[in-house]
Amino acid sequence: MLKIAIFIFPDVETLDFCGPLEVFTAANIACEKEFFQVYTFAENPEPIKTINGLKVIPDYDAENVPRPDILIIPGGNGTKALIENQRILGLLQKLYDESQYTFSVCSGARIPAVLGWLDGKKFTTHHSVFDDVQRLAPKARIRPNNRFTDNGKILTSAGVAAGIDLSFYLLEKIQGAQVAQKTARYMEYPWDGNC
């Protein structure tokens, strides 16, 4: 069973983390098999208020988050403050080093940009954040027309709902097309593997 850690923070974009969470947990349900253990974590154990006003209680905090196989970094206005938070940047660097795959959704690309993970690599993000991410990672190669990018260990997706497509892409890469299609049917999501 692969462990998937989803980072949440104040002013996170709700669908940025709920979309991937749904895909990977739905794979378990649709296939009646425990492929993934999915959990959230935050800097502190207190409830997080998303940009949309939803309150979410993280499963873990910075002190006790388990090592992930897959690390997911969503976006939202809160990423502007996070790129100045050395404690969180240090934790995310450690989790990235331990992960097999890490992906950002939407403006979550600011974090891999500031940590140097996108240097020399292709990326996409929300259309309103392209310039900001390029400023933070001038050596990164922007792909404004891509729904997502795959650089091996580090992947990025465009804005909000694109995180669902990247999740399906990674699900298919790890578990195969049959699992991805069965999950898409369960979710009634139009995944064809060609985004």
% pLDDT > 90, the chain = 97
pLDDT the model gives residue 113? 98
Instruction: Assess if residue 119 is contained within a domain.
Output: yes
Instruction: Assess if residue 195 is contained within a domain.
Output: no
Pick the range with the lowest mean pLDDT from 14-18, 119-123, 129-133, 188-192.
188-192
Instruction: Assess if residue 151 is contained within a domain.
Output: yes
Instruction: Assess if residue 193 is contained within a domain.
Output: no
Instruction: Assess if residue 192 is contained within a domain.
Output: no
Instruction: Assess if residue 194 is contained within a domain.
Output: no
Residue 24: exposure state from Cβ atoms within 10 A (0-12, 13-18, ≥19): buried
Domain hosting 114: range is: 2-187
pLDDT the model gives residue 194? 57
Q: What is the mean pLDDT of the chain?
A: 97
How many domains is the chain partitioned into structurally?
Answer: 1
Query: Which of 105, 34, 28, 100 shows the shortest CA–CA distance to 69?
Result: 100
Q: Residue 165: which CATH number?
A: 3.40.50.880
pLDDT tens for 120-175 read 999 999 999 999 999 999 999 999 999 999 999 999 999 999 999 999 999 999 99
